[in-house]
Amino acid sequence: MRLVSRVVDDGQALVEALALAASLANKPREALRASKRLIRAPWREQIKQALEREREVFSERLRSEDCRAALDKLTRR
């Protein structure tokens, strides 16, 4: 994912940003939405997979002897 798509001269950032915004505003709204969905889709899938793996590992750790011992110690206080 790029953070910078262009570099402009000092003092021209606002002018360029407004020009870009006007250009985007003139494009078909649904086409822009579709483009955004396509751009974001791979990231969403990676996040879903990472969260699923995290859930699996967390679940495994909750069933571990280490966790059981720590919880037993905590509940004896």
Residue 62: other Cβ atoms inside 10 A: 10
Distance between CA atoms of 20 and 6, rounded to whole angstroms? 11
Cα 26 to chain center, whole Å? 27
Place 1 in a pLDDT band, splitting at 50, 70 and 90.
low
What is the pTM for the complete model shown?
0.49
- Say what percent of the chain tops pLDDT 90: 81
Q: Answer whether residue 9 shows pLDDT above 60.
A: yes
Residue with tokens 């402009």: 8
Place 29 in a pLDDT band, splitting at 50, 70 and 90.
very high
